[in-house]
Structure 1
Amino acid sequence: MNTAATVNSKNKYLVLGLLCLGWIINYFDKVAINVAVIPISQEFGLSETQVGLILSSFFLSYAIMQPIGGTLADKFGSRKVIIISVVGWSLFTILTGTAWSFLSLIIIRFLFGIGEGSYPSASSVAVAESFPQHERARAKSILTSATTIGGVLATLVAASLSKSFGWQSMFVILGIVGLILALLYAKFLHPTGSQAAAAKRTVAKLPLRKLLKISMLWKLMAIYFGISMVTWGMMSWMPTYMVKVRHLDMVSMGALASIPAILSFVTVLLTGWLLDKRMVGRERLLIVIGSFIGIISLYLMSKAPTVTLVVAYQALANVGLAAAVTTTLTMPLKYIDPSSVGAASGLIYLGGQTAGVIAPTAMGFMIQQFNGSYDAAFWLLIIAVFIPFVVGMTLRTTAQVGNEPPAKVSTSN
């Protein structure tokens, strides 16, 4: 291997490591509110519906920013968009700790979503800029696995910080960590390898009107919506469920929440390897099978008589849905022209974050209407998983032939 190739190889793994770190901190800041709403709701006297609105306000702006951030990353490069995003969300994380009322929390969390919303699609662009096509599924799966690490640590760390220092100081501490990350990015994040150069040589990006005509993107949006209904619904309400219904203390709840997340981490990495090595052109099988596992497991979880079985079935659901979501988020990197990866990823993320707007509020409303019972709320999640199960069956891709890359949607038509 020549010197230039060696440098580029080292750089792409540095970029990937920094992006993973960003996703972990991203999840710390995002998930902390799900733990903090327990003392916040007591302090401000909030109902379940009001708690759901606070959680959903973030996802409204977060969803809006997904395609915008992706388009900006396609146009200006991922580095600038990522750094601005990290600084923005860190400042609003700190500001969350100064909230004084229900309305102030709604406004601050909405602004927080604007700051954080560009990061997911911009990080996908950074992967496309740094890795060749045949390595992107594994690189993206590693990024996705970082979100599970964030999930493992965030609930436990947030619960511990909130208990030790109060929820206000918890947000200040997490925001400062984010600002330190921004400094690291400014110095070390340079996704400018040979893949970035190739992307810059692309003659034209796919116009939005043509991007919206690609049926695969609409299907992936729908699939990600269904999966994300479960992701954000569970992330928003499982801490409260485990404390109020299953009578765990906050630290024990955080520790048990790490078990499903750890299994998700392993599943995501295995799925990335399968997508690059064994499932090219057959990605829909992972989505359909994973969704089926999710449906059965969520039903069993809703009926589980003990905490042990709740955690076990939640872990099994996470395994199935982790395989499905990793496949969904990887497909734009494999089948969409590199010049439009950011915009395409942003549209798919838009589907997922729309679920983030709906799930927390809808579940909170159902819990309140049914006098604290979570049965109807869990059924909402079970029904949502039928979307990726059914839509996944209709996905069509072109399998890899010999050493040729997979057929991808071109900008020329």
Structure 2
Amino acid sequence: MTRIGTTQLSSQTTTAPAKPEATPILHRVRGKVLLLLCVMYAISYLDRTNISTAGPTIMSALHLNATQFGIAVSAFSIPYALLQVFGGNLGERFGARKSLFWIGVLWGVATIATGFSIGLLSLVGARLLLGLTEAAAFPTATSAMSRWVPADRNGFAQGVVHSASRLGNAAGPLIVGGLIIWGNSLHTVLAGWQISFLLIGLLSVVWALLWMWSYRDRPQNHPKVTKEELSEIPRELERAAQPATPWRRLMRTILPVAVVDFGYGWVLWVFLTWIPTFLTDTFHLPLSKYALFTSVVLVGGVVGDTVGGMFADFLLRRTGNLRNSRRTVLLVGLVGSLLWLVPLLFAHTLVVATVSLSLSFFFLELCNATLWAIPMDVAPEWSGTASGMMNTGFGLAGIFSPIVFGAMVDSVGWQWPFGISIGLLALSAVVATVMKPRRVLPRGVDDVAVAR
């Protein structure tokens, strides 16, 4: 029987059943590592999407229209997209311990700087700095997971940390909205929205200090790791020397996944950026109510991420077929999400819109863990670089989605932007159907398929 994620793969392996039991996560040091990463993912999305909840307030305070606000939101994604591969590779070179420490500190500074923006240019500058500091965060975290998480739990690990990020999304409107209201009641020199960015930025710095104190790049160097846990961790990653990065083979394998990630990312940025404004414009809700309904919508993603990761790993253990198990989850998620966006083209009630958006976001987030698990599946030695390549699709979507969506809202309303999002999900589903993820091995070892 072939164990996926090792160098003992056979090109004849197709659907031989793998072991039915999942390798334990609880009662292991890896469980604490995942918990720390969950906190980081939640804070990172709170840091990058708090601008959405504060959007109507910021637009009013800085005199911005929807197009200008979309430009400010998109500014985050310019360095975020362009530096994904570089950031992931840098994280592999310097190790996740030091890299994520400095990333956490610097994105905290960028978040605080957002709160001190005085106009469009300063807001764009702060968002550029945030994108620059966060570009390496998730690829580096993926590299950390590859060194601690057994291959049969890749989907679960990615699912649970991204569920935490969606928890940050879902809690964000309530947290940021509450901080804005509380800050306004203080009647200080700072406005409520500015105070919210200051406090959330400080939270990032606190996490960075905790990570530096508790994490180790090499599991065998952790004082509490057991021999049993070490025996469960991928052995090929214990080499002292990092194999040379096979750039061409990685790009050939990851490019179709990045295309799917672009379509997924386009729609995700719609949810992260425009739902509060959509609810405000369409149903004329005040801050307290649109924050609540936005949180209700985003809760669907918290569930979807974990369910998607667990479902993908379950299929992989039952069938041993990497391609089919990952592709099935992607197709269910992409098609389900686009179908539940359709009612928004005709809906005129808050209830229908909330239910439709919630279910669409649930299905969309079924895809997330699988997209991040594929780089760990096919290139565990270079999972930081490979996941950076994949997430470049999401970063590029983040550049164009808020600007195009915002410009279309200003010119033609909400229906056409949602219609384009439906079309991109359909295109992503087509690419997911035909893509063939392949195991990329170090030089000197034959490159063989891990799935048919």
Same fold per superposition (TM over 0.5): yes
Partner of 1:241: 278
Partner of 2:112: 94
- In structure 2, relative to structure 1, the CA distance for the partners of 1:86 and 1:143 (3 Å cut) is same
Partner of 2:7: none
Alignment map for 1:134-283 (pairs within 5 Å): 134-165=152-183, 166-193=192-219, 194=230, 195=233, 198-201=236-239, 204-214=243-253, 217-279=254-316, 280-281=321-322, 282=324, 283=326
- In structure 2, relative to structure 1, the CA distance for the partners of 1:394 and 1:247 (3 Å cut) is same
The one-letter amino acid paired with 1:134 is: D
Alignment map for 1:4-403 (pairs within 5 Å): 10-165=28-183, 166-193=192-219, 194=230, 195=233, 198-201=236-239, 204-214=243-253, 217-279=254-316, 280-281=321-322, 282=324, 283-336=326-379, 338-370=380-412, 373-397=413-437
Greater mean alpha carbon deviation, residues 134-143 or residues 346-355: 134-143
Q: CA deviation at 1:137?
A: 1.5
Residue by residue over 1:364-388, the C-alpha shift from the partner in whole angstroms, topping out at 9 and shown as x without a partner, is 1111122xx2112212211221222
Q: CA deviation at 1:9?
A: 5.8
- In structure 2, relative to structure 1, the CA distance for the partners of 1:366 and 1:149 (3 Å cut) is same
Greater mean alpha carbon deviation, residues 257-266 or residues 313-322: 257-266
Residue in structure 1 matching 2:441, options 399, 406, 410:
410
Question: Is the contact between residue 305 and residue 367 of structure 2 (CA under 8 Å) also seen in structure 1?
Answer: no
* Secondary structure in structure 2 of the residue aligned to 1:99: coil
Residue by residue over 1:282-325, the C-alpha shift from the partner in whole angstroms, topping out at 9 and shown as x without a partner, is 12121112211111111112321211111111111112211122
Q: CA deviation at 1:105?
A: 0.7
Cα distance in 2 between the residues matched to 1:86 and 1:184: 10
The one-letter amino acid paired with 1:408 is: R
Cα distance in 2 between the residues matched to 1:187 and 1:77: 14
Cα distance in 2 between the residues matched to 1:350 and 1:333: 16
Question: Is the contact between residue 151 and residue 234 of structure 2 (CA under 8 Å) also seen in structure 1?
Answer: no
- In structure 2, relative to structure 1, the CA distance for the partners of 1:310 and 1:191 (3 Å cut) is farther
- In structure 2, relative to structure 1, the CA distance for the partners of 1:273 and 1:8 (3 Å cut) is closer
Q: Between Structure 1 and Structure 2, whose CA radius of gyration is higher?
A: 2
Question: Is the contact between residue 200 and residue 339 of structure 1 (CA under 8 Å) also seen in structure 2?
Answer: no
The one-letter amino acid paired with 1:168 is: Q
Cα distance in 2 between the residues matched to 1:151 and 1:85: 20
Q: CA deviation at 1:200?
A: 4.3
Residue by residue over 1:115-173, the C-alpha shift from the partner in whole angstroms, topping out at 9 and shown as x without a partner, is 11111111111110111111222111111111111111012111111222111111101
- In structure 2, relative to structure 1, the CA distance for the partners of 1:17 and 1:365 (3 Å cut) is same
Where in structure 2 are there 5+ consecutive unaligned residues? 1-22, 184-191, 220-229, 448-452
Q: CA deviation at 1:191?
A: 4.3
Cα distance in 2 between the residues matched to 1:261 and 1:233: 12
Greater mean alpha carbon deviation, residues 196-205 or residues 72-81: 196-205
The one-letter amino acid paired with 1:212 is: M
Greater mean alpha carbon deviation, residues 236-245 or residues 254-263: 254-263
- In structure 2, relative to structure 1, the CA distance for the partners of 1:278 and 1:43 (3 Å cut) is same
Cα distance in 2 between the residues matched to 1:321 and 1:6: 27
- In structure 2, relative to structure 1, the CA distance for the partners of 1:332 and 1:346 (3 Å cut) is same
Quote the sequence identity (%).
25
Question: Is the contact between residue 16 and residue 143 of structure 1 (CA under 8 Å) also seen in structure 2?
Answer: yes
The one-letter amino acid paired with 2:345 is: S
- In structure 2, relative to structure 1, the CA distance for the partners of 1:9 and 1:67 (3 Å cut) is farther
The one-letter amino acid paired with 1:344 is: A
Instruction: Tell me the TM-score normalized by structure 1.
Output: 0.91
Cα distance in 2 between the residues matched to 1:319 and 1:170: 28
Residue by residue over 1:205-238, the C-alpha shift from the partner in whole angstroms, topping out at 9 and shown as x without a partner, is 3332332232xx1111000100110000221111
Cα distance in 1 between the residues matched to 2:369 and 2:158: 8
Cα distance in 2 between the residues matched to 1:10 and 1:203: 25
Q: How many matched pairs?
A: 395
Partner of 2:223: none
Cα distance in 2 between the residues matched to 1:17 and 1:112: 23
The one-letter amino acid paired with 1:158 is: V
Question: Is the contact between residue 159 and residue 368 of structure 2 (CA under 8 Å) also seen in structure 1?
Answer: no
- In structure 2, relative to structure 1, the CA distance for the partners of 1:225 and 1:62 (3 Å cut) is same
Question: Is the contact between residue 287 and residue 388 of structure 1 (CA under 8 Å) also seen in structure 2?
Answer: no
Residue by residue over 1:98-120, the C-alpha shift from the partner in whole angstroms, topping out at 9 and shown as x without a partner, is 11111111111101111111111
- In structure 2, relative to structure 1, the CA distance for the partners of 1:191 and 1:111 (3 Å cut) is same
The one-letter amino acid paired with 1:122 is: T
Greater mean alpha carbon deviation, residues 15-24 or residues 375-384: 375-384
Cα distance in 2 between the residues matched to 1:264 and 1:367: 24
Partner of 1:402: none
Instruction: Tell me the TM-score normalized by structure 2.
Output: 0.83
Task: Give the structure with the larger helix fraction.
Answer: 1
Question: Is the contact between residue 70 and residue 345 of structure 1 (CA under 8 Å) also seen in structure 2?
Answer: yes
Where in structure 1 are there 5+ consecutive unaligned residues? 398-406
Aligned CA RMSD, in angstroms, stands at: 2.0
Q: CA deviation at 1:77?
A: 1.6
* Secondary structure in structure 1 of the residue aligned to 2:283: coil
